[in-house]
Structure 1
Amino acid sequence: MTTLPDFTPPDGPLAVATAVPATAVAAAAAAAANAAPGVPSRAGTLEALAVSAWFGSRKVLEQVSLTMPAGRVTALIGPSGCGKSTFLRTLNRMHELIPGASLAGEVLLDGTDVYDPARRLTDARRDIGMVFQKPNPFPAMSIYDNVLAGLKLTGTRAGRAEKDQLVEECLTKAGLWREVADRLRQPGGALSGGQQQRLCIARSLAIRPRVLLMDEPCSALDPTSTRRIEQTIRELAHEVTIVIVTHNMQQAARVSDSCAFFLAEHGTPGAIVEHGPTAAMFGHPADPRTADYVNGRFG
């Protein structure tokens, strides 16, 4: 077991799962198939092998193994407190930021151990970026400088013309360029909540990640902003691997190619009950607990 640098993460809001019409699942599956015709070399395959995690002496994840394919969107679903967000944090070594935390198992990015002692932490964070539940732009920093903030943290040098091009490219990919192109020097904190979240996505993209982790990125947003973020996810899916935690079953059906259903029963650590293509998980799941959850019989 690897000891990391006792804290229990706050539970997110307990969302009630609701039934997803079969037509919506079929449409989402068709859109997913059309959205990712090829996988660029930058996107990486992420593999978790028998990952277990603890906060102090409390075990919160039990032997989780999951492959998250390159250039695809994998959704992690399940009730609050079942370990989804903890699992997400193990994928780019954020779990080790929590005092008293520890883990066992392996996380591989295209076969390379993310936790290899010889691998620099900044390299792992550059390859595997993260967007959090609550938008967290630097409020006093301009929109322009927010996008480029990760370059300093990773020691990446760039000239002015290159920076200008990168800002436009990343804001365009995040679906924000047309809304802010004429006010790049204004504070990022002055944007709306949905715009701030897209700014955070642009900031993550600026360091050229191979995987992008998203922890309930739409939970604090209105329906219009949520729809725009989902559109951004689908547009990005062909060039970067995306892993998203969501309590919204319709969202999982709309944006993901595959799903993993987590559950922690009777005080046991969280584990994966079932995983597979999204259409199969929602249309004809193999485990009755999965069927109960995706159809809103508990949540």
Structure 2
Amino acid sequence: MLPAHPGDQPDRPGHAGLAELEAREISAWFGERQVLDRVSLTMPAGGITALIGPSGCGKSTFLRILNRMHELVPSAQLAGEVLLDGVDLYDPEFRLTAARRAIGMVFQKPNPFPAMSIQENVLAGLKLTGTRAGRAEKDELVESCLTRAGLWTEVRDRLDAPGGGLSGGQQQRLCIARSLAIRPRVLLMDEPCSALDPTSTRVIEETMLDLAREVTIVIVTHNMQQAARVSDTCAFFLASHGTPGVIVEHGDTYAMFNAPQDQRTNDYVNGRFG
């Protein structure tokens, strides 16, 4: 259950191009039902931040707010700010397409486009964002993204095969590659391993650790061992007795798992509820 000592974690040095994401006083509603109450969290540049907590405490809603997917729900309302390197994504002058391009998303269930080939899946984001590229540039992009997603060696001889024909773990890595093709600065991952076997989960986790060198990652997970293995910082969400979700505690992952400041955090990470 406990993570390794920080000194045993793989070195993940940052660089100037990495983005810090900050949520300030985020409250959210679906109709009249409030699901988050004044949630503030800084997600450090070049790190992996894990959002943990029981089902129904607002983690996935919070994640979707970070790239404005919350807006897709007709009854959804929002208060607060989401800052990408100090710029509010919800500012009227910040275009939605720019927000989605800067902050990519990988969902719980792998969702490659089944009628598209592996190669076409990777390049799909270029069409959606109106990005033009020549054949050589596209070929280079496909190889680069599949390599970074840990999939290139497994599929390089069948790029024209349907993306939907891959195994579950391969499909999830294909979705990661598709997200990387638009060069996001932040990658959001909503329980990306929950439907995968242990071997595929290990590969996805290794991929995340590699990607954190070049992109800031925020992951929702119910797997405490996974949060301990991959994240640098952690935020514990909780909603109780019909109240909206709040962050009980957040900070360094090692400290939260070994010396939490709140008894509720201690109970949760040690499996006493949730």
> Post-superposition shift, 1:140?
1.1
TM-score (norm 1): 0.90
Q: 2:7 is aligned with what amino acid?
A: A
Counterpart-to-counterpart distance in 2, 1:30 and 1:227: 21
Matched, 1:250 2:229: no
Q: Is the 8 A contact 1:35 1:237 kept in 2?
A: no
For the residue of structure 2 that corresponds to 1:35, the secondary structure is coil
Matched, 1:60 2:35: yes
> Post-superposition shift, 1:158?
0.7
> Post-superposition shift, 1:198?
0.1
Q: Is the 8 A contact 1:35 1:234 kept in 2?
A: no
Matched, 1:137 2:148: no
Q: 1:103 is aligned with what amino acid?
A: L
Aligned length: 274
Instruction: Provide closer, same or farther for how the CA distance between residues 161 and 115 of structure 1 changes in structure 2, counting only shifts above 3 A.
Output: same
Which residue, 182, 187, 196 being the options, matches 1:221? 196
Match of 2:81 in 1: 106
For the residue of structure 2 that corresponds to 1:273, the secondary structure is strand
For the residue of structure 2 that corresponds to 1:253, the secondary structure is helix
Which residue, 88, 92, 100 being the options, matches 2:67? 92
Match of 1:291 in 2: 266
Match of 2:242 in 1: 267
Match of 1:241 in 2: 216
Match of 1:17 in 2: none
Counterpart-to-counterpart distance in 2, 1:31 and 1:243: 21
Match of 2:12 in 1: 36
TM-score (norm 2): 0.99
Counterpart-to-counterpart distance in 1, 2:182 and 2:55: 31
> Post-superposition shift, 1:36?
1.1
Match of 2:158 in 1: 183
Match of 1:9 in 2: none
> Post-superposition shift, 1:102?
0.4
Counterpart-to-counterpart distance in 1, 2:134 and 2:55: 45
Q: Is the 8 A contact 1:54 1:61 kept in 2?
A: yes
Matched, 1:168 2:143: yes
Deviating above 6 A after TM superposition, structure 1's stretches of 4 or more consecutive aligned residues are: none
Q: 2:122 is aligned with what amino acid?
A: V
CA RMSD of aligned residues (A): 0.8
Q: 1:36 is aligned with what amino acid?
A: R
User: Could you tell me the percent identity over the aligned residues?
Assistant: 77
Cα deviation code 1:194-248 (max 9, x no counterpart): 0000000000000000000000000000000000000000000111000000000
Match of 1:50 in 2: 25
Unaligned runs of 5+ in 1: 1-19
Q: 1:198 is aligned with what amino acid?
A: R
Unaligned runs of 5+ in 2: none
Q: Is the 8 A contact 2:25 2:79 kept in 1?
A: yes
Counterpart-to-counterpart distance in 2, 1:131 and 1:192: 16
For the residue of structure 2 that corresponds to 1:168, the secondary structure is helix
> Post-superposition shift, 1:155?
1.1
Counterpart-to-counterpart distance in 2, 1:41 and 1:206: 20
Cα deviation code 1:98-155 (max 9, x no counterpart): 1110000000000011011111111000000000000000011000010010011111
Counterpart-to-counterpart distance in 1, 2:65 and 2:18: 19
Cα deviation code 1:242-291 (max 9, x no counterpart): 00000000000000000000000111000000000000000000000000
Matched, 1:207 2:178: no
